[in-house]
Amino acid sequence: MNFKEYYAYYLSLHRDMTNRFLHFVGNIMTVLFIATVFVLDLNLWWLVLSPFVVYPFAWTGHFLFEKNSPAAFDSPLKSKVCDWLMLVDEFRGKVK
């Protein structure tokens, strides 16, 4: 499956607006987490945890609202890229 096909599959797992909103919140929290590491001059090893900040939000959306499994279980790297792409596409009005 190429990336375009995977992204279409990824979007099919994110039809519920509450699920997408929780992903949005998780991504914003990730950005805030990274900013906090730099602002507070913490050890940069904390950045290793940054990809995992979104998961409690995203998984809640999948399990409680979407009633499916997160794409991260199958392909963590592709799903992380798609997560940010979905956020950008939401802002651009491309995701209905």
Contact 10, 71 (CB under 8 A): yes
| Mean pLDDT on 61-74 | 93
The whole-model pTM stands at 0.88
Q: Residue 73: which pLDDT band, with cuts at 50, 70 and 90? A: confident
pLDDT tens track for 38-60? 999 889 999 999 988 999 999 99
Contact 84, 57 (CB under 8 A): no
What is residue 51's predicted lDDT score, i.e. its pLDDT? 87
Where are the domains positioned within the chain?
A: 3-91
Q: What is the C-alpha separation between 46 and 81, in angstroms, rounded?
A: 20
Q: Residue 85: which pLDDT band, with cuts at 50, 70 and 90? A: very high
Q: What is the C-alpha separation between 64 and 81, in angstroms, rounded?
A: 23
